[in-house]
Chain A
Amino acid sequence: MTCVHLLLTLVFAVSLGTPVEIQRPRGVPLTSIQFYVENKPFTCLDGSRTISFDRVNDDYCDCKDGSDEPGTAACPNGSFHCTNAGYRPMFIPSSRINDGICDCCDTTDEYNSGAKCENTCKELGRKEREVLQKMAEITKEGFLLKQHLIEEAKKGQQEKQSKVTDMQGNKKQLDEKVEVLRTVKETAEQPEKEAKERHLKAWEEQKAAIRLEKDKAKMAEAFLELDDNADGFVSVSELQSHAELDADADGTLTETEAQGLMGGAEQVDTSTFESVWPNIKDKYHSEVSREEADMSCLVSSEVPFGQKVFFLEKTVVKLSAQKARDDFEEAEKALREMDDQIRNIEKELSFDFGPDAEFTYLYSQCYELTTGEYIYRLCPFNRVSQKPKYGGSETNLGTWGSWSGPENNKYLLMKYDHGTGCWQGPNRSTTVKLTCGKETVVTSTSEPSRCEYLIEFTTPAVCQEPANTDLSPHDHEEL
């Protein structure tokens, strides 16, 4: 059985520094000392039962809440208090008493395990004070910077707000100007339009005349071809030799059909043929092989002349319309630009930049950290990316999603998601953890889970107002 020390004599000091000896069972904090009165029955702190005092710290668990064994490992749910004079007092689970591992800096948790522990409280206290002091300095300066940021942000926000208001006023004027210029432009464009129409018409007429002439030539040619016996007449039988003219598509051109095509006549001369020609010209196959394209060739080759006339006239008209058009387009472009600007500012104003807009300054900035393999780039409220140091394409680690810190302060974490997809895995995402610092800088990056990145980022914007107490190291200590 283990040797059990029931009571422990401790040197206790009140704040005046006078040492006083106070006895209490091992592992009991000063705040609970009144419950452990020597030689009086002990009632478990949950009130569940009362036991004789010799069962307190006797290395057997009697109380369900573990309160009878504050100084042994007997109770599974007990806790042990170490005073840790010079550092911070703390509770450890009683399972860490005499487990061979030094947990309390004052070594009191290992009183019977053979573990060689050294009292490190003073050293820890000193280090902690240093850290706290440093932290306090950082917090103090950071908080000042933060105030500055808030001021700037508020100023900027107001500026932007009024700029938007101004711009919206200007935009109205611009809207009107655009409308006026549109009318001017359309008026100026009228002669140009008319000239264009006139010339189009002349051009169409010219084309029609050319087409008619061609048709006539073709007709004459066809007459000569059809007049097989060269008697100056085209007869029904001569027409019948052209089966393609068959109207009912049965493959033959009957006498009646041919006669029908010739308007009931038995034969026609050149001039009467003019009335027959329209009936047959669409289907008529010339006996001599000719290119169908001739007509269009002819037409296009004759274009330049007419066009030249048109262009000349157009240029004259255009000179007057062009200025109106330019003016209009310029005004319209200015309007579009102003719209964009307003939209951008409104978008920026719509972001949640924190309760006091202290994160505003991060907007449209980017911060980089180079590690062994990659360059990480954090553009707050926009995106996070990673690029191999020695060449290669950039990978999107997520675009701005939302603030995602704990309920009491959501502004401690930023979430960026929907980055480039991972092979057989999710889309990449990044959590940015913000801590108080004087500088705005990415301090570390890691990938705790595949394709889930963590970036640590310091900024004055999360620095809390320093507590208005002095940092005396003796505040909560028992020595």
Chain B
Amino acid sequence: TGSSCESWDVKLLQVSTFAVDRGNFKTCDQSAFCKRQRALKPGQSPYRALLETLELSDSRLTLQLINDNNKVHLLLELYRLQGNMTRVKINELKPLRPRFEVPDVLIAEPPTEPLSVLSKDDNGVVLSLGAKNQRLIVSARPFRLDIMQGPEVLLSLNSRGLLAFEHLRLHKDTDKEEDGLWEETFKSHTDTKPNGPTSISLDFSLPGVEHVYGIPEHADDLKLKTTDGGDPYRLYNLDVFQYELYNPMALYGSIPVMLAHNTQRTMGIFWLNAAETWVDISSNTMLDFVQGSSEKPQTDVRWISESGIIDVFIMLGPKPSDVFSQYASLTGTQSFPPLASLGYHQCRWNYNDQEDVKSVDQGFDQHDIPYDFIWLDIEHADGKRYFTWDPHKFPQPKEMLQGLMDKRRKMVAIVDPHIRVDSGYKIHNEITSKDFYVKNKDGRNYEGWCWPGNSGYPDFTKPEMRAWWSSMFAYDQYEGSMENLFTWNDMNEPSVFNGPEVTMHKDALHGKWEHRDIHNIYGLYVQMATAEGQTQRSGGVERPFVLTRAFFAGSQRYGAVWTGDNAAEWDHLKISIPMCLSLGLVGVSFCGADVGGFFKNPSTELLVRWYQTGAYQPFFRAHAHLDTTRREPWLFGPENTALIREVIRQRYALLPYWYQLLYQAHKTGMPVMRPLWVDYPKDTATFTIDDEFLIGSDLLVHPVTEEGSRGVTAYLPGAGEVWYDVHTFQKHNGAQNLYIPVTLSSIPVFQRGGSIIPRKDRVRRSSACMENDPYTLYVALSPKKFAEGELYIDDGHSLNYDTKKEFIHRSLTFANNALTSSNLCPDCNFLTSSWIEKVLILGASKPSKVLLKMDGKETPVDFEFDTSMSVLTLRKPGMNAGADWTLLLQ
């Protein structure tokens, strides 16, 4: 709901202060396994590799490890994966019971490449990692792994001796209770631990690395900080009421992927574990043996998880784009959303009734502001029974949806995973009769408090449960739904008001596994089943759109993510940038923050600035808490209405570019909203920038996020490159800090010289209304008078682009005074009625003549040249957007 699900007592205590109640959430010291593991200091590892147990099949190497302190044997598995990755798995050789291995995250068993032993002696084994002179060295005593390229160590495992694997054991009376091995209590909640201690830990050293990123979700800077002297970054999906900024506390989602970057290389570590996880980061220096005696920076990382096994994917890059495609090859890419979902979304907790929805819809038309989706929060359902409608407020949902459809607009209604325990509620009765609820430790249905009061939690880890849930979205099951109704999954951490840390008890049961084992993936499953339901209701034809608050590695495959219940404060506007950048780096491109801030009332200036920022972030939705005053865009006087209208129109004009970038993200895993270093990996000045960002490679945005700002300093990267102000077409050189004076209407955005961006400058009231409109090409020339770009077109909503290759994908190139459109997918078939109405060439010189070459004919094209900004405008060349053509400048 954008509604935090804090416990009642918290809510009452929070009346006067606006900040998270830290006491509700554990520190590492209050989490028994984290405290135990963190007490272990770097030193000699007790683990030893038993080289005589080495077995090498074609692509799988196994080797036993022994802990010399307790003689427990572990099994190490090593794989060389296709695409320059190494997988390291460590489990107990003979566990008392199976340990949990996370399913449903990898899109397939990752394809392997052959491994070969280069040398072997008593001290260890050297393995070849295939090409590029890469080797993996297994040291026996103590056990340690080093990945080398030439003489250089890229990454080491257990080099600080922090591998610690708590083996399954029988409960002995001699175990000290204070260690929290078999039971621990936090506040009033006791976690019984029938399996005893099960935690795992491993350290990684990254020589030459000073910058690490990722492991969302935290309300913190883009560049991860050292955790020495503080708590580690925590990954444990939690519904945090009024979260605090700039600290490592856990939030709604977890993606256990870290990126390491320096000017030479980008690498990634993917720690596939869904249990509560803590990540320590420290920066060190080490002697550089290659360079001689000089000191070299190093980052040391340590992962600690409460249960499961060690299953790590080391993505070796070397380029940022390589790491993105490596991670995408493991967990999949961003789902390709319906075009409309890239438009503007109007949300509020709550639009009160059908009348309210109608009048807000009309408000947009009266004020000539485009929008695509209006949203309904929890109050729309009958007594918070999701899949139903309040009979008084929403008596005719289909009539309402039809009204929106007539305007070519859409709606989202919330469906949360907590189910009201109520024998008069069909959903509850079916889940009960099918025995699909999560169980408590005694085997009875687990119940907790959430919005509807006493609630059950469907066991989304069960495939049969998910299949049933999906079937509930069928038009004949979900009464009042229509094809323009989409879904929002909130509270799926899961949020349990009266549970420990406002979530589910760890000893609750999902079949044979404890909630402890699966916690961080619960939210992913909810969105997975919901998205699948939407696809199914259309017979597999239409793309789903589902927004989620909780997420895990792989969630990108199922829809959009937003940064949860933020607040109407300037710092929350600022943090939206690093929060979405961090998500983008680890696969989730379709990210946004509540525009305006969820809690509290924004000042008019903050609201306008937030629209200006949000319009340039992938998921663009305004949302507000129930207790805030209304803030539809036209409620702040005509001047501010005009400012908001203008920026929403800018968003709509750029929809072709956004859509093409989402398509690219879907195909390649490249993030849509990117930190500058992704495109300028050798420019150290970009490494910590998180107050500006790139959209794709071609637009640089520096939103104004300071109150009363009169100017911002934007860093324009790229020595020898140029950037064009998209509003004035003024040209600026790259590799400089540029001071830009701003007014309330300014949104500093620059287009990269060398790029071509297609826009639809005829902005209409929804994206669907713009479907057949013509394109304007913005060709921004590099200093070498070169530019390139792409144009992607399909029907905007179906899966036919995938199943029937019904799309147009064109390459646009400007070189040698000619702009050419060529087909990137010759075997694709899609017809568009869109055409090219205008071409703007920025940084051009005046031609004497312009000719359009098409179908073997040459026709002259009218043009205008603006000398002051060197902008050449080609008037109405008129070719179909899917055609082959060349425009010649003579």
B352 CB contacts on chain A under 8 angstroms: 446-448
When C-beta atoms are compared, the residue in chain A nearest to B768 turns out to be A100
Cβ of B392 under 8 Å from chain A:
yes
Judge whether B127 is part of the interface by a CB distance below 8 angstroms: no
- Residues of B with C-beta under 8 A to A113: 772
A29-77, CB < 8 A from B: 58-60, 73-74, 76
Q: How far is the CA of A193 from the CA of B880 in the complex (A)?
A: 115
- B368 contacts A101, CB within 8 Å? no
Give chain A's interface secondary structure class: loop
- Known interface pairs A74-B837, A100-B408, A424-B15. Does A450 touch B765 (Cβ–Cβ under 8 Å)? no
Q: How far is the CB of A2 from chain B (nearest CB, A)?
A: 7
Chain B residues numbered 152-173 whose CB sits less than 8 Å from any CB in chain A? none
Residue in contact with B627 in the complex, picked from A422, A446, A448, CB distance below 8 Å: A422
Q: A60-B837, A60-B875, A450-B628 are in contact. Are A76 and B392 (CB under 8 A)?
A: no
Q: Quote the shortest CB–CB distance from A450 to chain B (angstroms).
A: 5
A73–B773 CB distance below 8 A: yes
Is B833 engaged at the interface, CB distance under 8 Å to the other chain? yes
Q: Given A73-B773, A452-B629, A1–B835 Cβ distance below 8 Å?
A: yes
Contact A449 B769 (CB under 8 A): no
Count contacts between A and B, CB distance < 8 Å. Answer: 69
Q: Say how far B8's CB is from chain A's closest CB, in angstroms.
A: 13
Tell me whether B565 is interfacial, beta carbon within 8 Å: no
In the bound assembly, the distance between CA atoms of A372 and B390 in angstroms comes to: 13
Distance A83 CA – B764 CA, assembled complex (angstroms) = 22
Given contacts A95-B765, A101-B406, A422-B627, contact A372 B773 (CB under 8 A): no
A182 within 8 A of B: no
Chain B residue at smallest Cβ distance from A452:
B629
A406, CB-defined interface residue at 8 Å: no
Chain B residues within an 8 Å CB radius of A447: 352
B653 to chain A, nearest CB (A): 9
Assembly CA distance A450 to B601 (angstroms): 12
The answer to whether A418 has its CB under 8 Å from any CB of chain B is no
Q: How far is the CA of A212 from the CA of B880 in the complex (A)?
A: 129
* Proximity bits, B343-363, A CB within 8 Å = 1, else 0: 000000000100010000000
Given A74-B837, A100-B769, A95 contacting B629 (CB threshold 8 A):
no
* Interfacial chain B residues near A425, Cβ < 8 Å: 627
Is A93 at the interface (CB under 8 A from chain B)? yes
A348 at interface (Cβ–Cβ under 8 A)? no
Number of interface residues of A (CB under 8 A): 28
- B220–chain A nearest beta-carbon distance, Å: 27
Q: B647 to chain A: closest CB distance in Å?
A: 14
Is the pair B765, A96 in contact by a Cβ cutoff of 8 Å? yes
Verify B837–A95 contact, CB threshold 8 A.
no
Return the chain A residue nearest B18 by Cβ.
A424
Given contact pairs A60-B837, A100-B768, A448 touches B763 in the complex (Cβ within 8 A): no
User: Looking at the complex, which one of A73, A372, A449 makes contact with B764 (CB distance below 8 Å)?
Assistant: A73
Cα A447 to Cα B880 in complex, Å, equals 51
* CA of A1 to CA of B833, assembled, Å: 7
Q: Do A76 and B408 touch across chains, with their CB atoms under 8 A apart?
A: no
State in angstroms the CA–CA spacing of A422 and B15 once bound together: 11
**Minimal beta-carbon separation of A92 from chain B (angstroms):** 10
CB of B231 to closest CB in A, whole Å: 29
Contact mask A410-450 → B, CB, 8 Å, 1/0?
A: 00000000000011111000000000000000000011111
Complexed CA–CA distance, A454 and B774 (Å): 45
Is the CB–CB distance between B627 and A95 below 8 Å?
Answer: no
Asked whether A424 and B765 contact (CB < 8 A) given A1-B835, A93-B368, A101-B407, the answer is: no
Q: How far is the CA of A447 from the CA of B379 in the complex (A)?
A: 14
**CA A449 to CA B351, docked complex, whole Å:** 10
Q: In this assembly, does A186 line the interface, its C-beta being within 8 Å of a C-beta of chain B? A: no
- Check A95/B762 contact, CB under 8 A, given A1-B878, A101-B406, A101-B407: yes
B763 in contact with A76 (CB, 8 Å)? yes
Of the candidates A58, A95, A423, the one whose C-beta lies within 8 Å of that of B763 is A95
Check A449/B763 contact, CB under 8 A, given A73-B773, A100-B769.
no
Residues of A within 8 A of B875 (CB): 60
Q: Is B626 on the interface with A (CB-CB < 8 A)?
A: yes
Residues of B within 8 A of A225 (CB): none
User: Please, which residues of chain A bring their CB within 8 A of the CB of B649?
Assistant: 76
18 A-B Cβ contacts within 8 A? Answer: A1-B835, A59-B837, A59-B876, A60-B837, A74-B837, A93-B368, A95-B762, A95-B765, A95-B769, A101-B408, A113-B772, A372-B392, A424-B15, A426-B629, A446-B352, A448-B630, A450-B626, A452-B630
List 15 additional A-B contacts (Cβ < 8 Å) besides A76-B761, A100-B408, A101-B406. Answer: A2-B772, A58-B876, A59-B837, A59-B876, A73-B762, A74-B762, A95-B769, A101-B765, A101-B769, A423-B627, A447-B352, A448-B630, A449-B628, A450-B626, A450-B629
